[in-house]
Amino acid sequence: MLRADKHNKKRKWPKVVGILFLLLLLAGGAYAYSIYHSLSKTAETMNEKIDRPKSEKREKEVEFDKKHPFSVLLLGVDERSGDRGRSDTMIVLTVNPHEKTTKMLSIPRDTRVDIIGKGFKDKINHAYAFGGIEMSMDTVEEFLDIPIDYYAKINMEGFEDIVNAVGGVTVDNTFAFKDGGYSFAEGQIDLTGKEALAYARMRKQDPRGDFGRQARQRQVIQAVLKEGAKVSSLWNYGDIFNAIGENVKTNLTLEEMVDIQKNYKSATKNISQSQISGSGAMINNGTQDIYYYIVPEEERTKVQDDLKDHLDLNE
């Protein structure tokens, strides 16, 4: 669970992956013209170009019509007036249509890494505060040694609207707990937007700590994806698109989203979750001791190789 201080209470987490593929799945179906027209307007609002050169870690550009595997950096950012904020949720999504699999890797926000463009080590979520999307992508790319092709960023203040837009979510809770003024029973439970936020934020009561919190984040992400893929969600597409358009930014264009929907749909049916392993440590920065999450080099290499295999980069 996030710390209970005032600042951390504002930290919310994203449903970016569910939103992203929700758009793709809804691109075709009932009320096709009306939906596509609304989707076009939403995609135009969402699209945000970035000033970033082609990755040196990829020899050829990704071509969706050729079904090339690709990666997306999913960021949840708490942006407030006068403050760019930090990316307190970072998930790397890799999609391989040949294997028909999608992988979600959570990176703890306190992970100590080289901040690309700054020349020093710091917490990985600080990259966004220092240099926005571009520095976040560059830093994650260097840390994992894979190309980061695209990004999707959500304003975490909009989390509740997105969950509510798909009609709420159903999750399988592994143990009973209370948090945020809500009680969560063990077993299958239905959650509204506010409840899903509290459910995903809890950490202190979880014996797995931040890892448990990350697991619940990914759990609700998949629940949003499941609800969004239902035909019944088409009746609410106006609310869904409004929630997405107001809270999500990505460098994917509408044409690319449609190409993904056409060529990669099978990969979204098999989604695996993982997290990078490490341990906490206090490190003095010259003035005070700071908590960091340290990933052993062996673990980092293992994760890098796994992701490269999934992106067909080791062939």
Residue 205 pLDDT? 85
Note if the pTM is more than 0.75: yes
Would you place residue 107 in the very low, low, confident or very high pLDDT band (cuts 50, 70, 90)? very high
CA within 13 Å, CB half, 216: 26
Handedness of CA 46, 47, 49, 54 (dihedral sign): positive
Other C-beta atoms lying within 10 Å of the C-beta of residue 211: 15
Better-predicted residue by pLDDT, 312 or 155: 312
Please give the average per-residue pLDDT across 270-296, as a whole number.
Answer: 90
- What is the rounded average pLDDT for all residues in the chain? 82
* C-alpha dihedral (199, 201, 207, 209), degrees to nearest 10: 160
Q: Which of 76-90, 93-107, 256-270 has the lowest mean pLDDT?
A: 76-90
45 vs 52, 224, 278, CA distance in Å?
20, 21, 38
Give the residue carrying structure tokens 């990078």: 276
Would you place residue 96 in the very low, low, confident or very high pLDDT band (cuts 50, 70, 90)? very high
Better-predicted residue by pLDDT, 237 or 225: 225
Sheet of 87-96, strand order: 248-250, 150-155, 70-77, 87-96, 101-106, 271-275
Are the C-beta atoms of 108 and 68 separated by less than 8 Å? no
Residue-range domain boundaries for the chain: 6-159+212-310
Q: Collapsing DSSP states into helix, strand and coil, what is residue 104?
A: strand
CATH topology of domain 6-159+212-310: Nucleotidyltransferase; domain 5 (3.30.420)
pLDDT for 157-197, tens place per residue?
Answer: 677 888 888 889 999 999 999 998 999 999 999 999 999 98
CA within 13 Å, CB half, 101: 10
Q: What percentage of the chain carries pLDDT values higher than 70?
A: 80
Residue 127 pLDDT? 95
Residues present in the chain in total: 315
Highest mean pLDDT among 123-137, 150-164, 242-256, 271-285: 123-137
Q: Which of 85-94, 109-118, 248-257, 288-297 has the lowest mean pLDDT?
A: 85-94
- Phi, psi of 159, deg, nearest 5: -55, -45
Nearest to 158 by CA among 67, 40, 57, 244: 244
Distance of CA 163 to the CA centre of its chain: 15
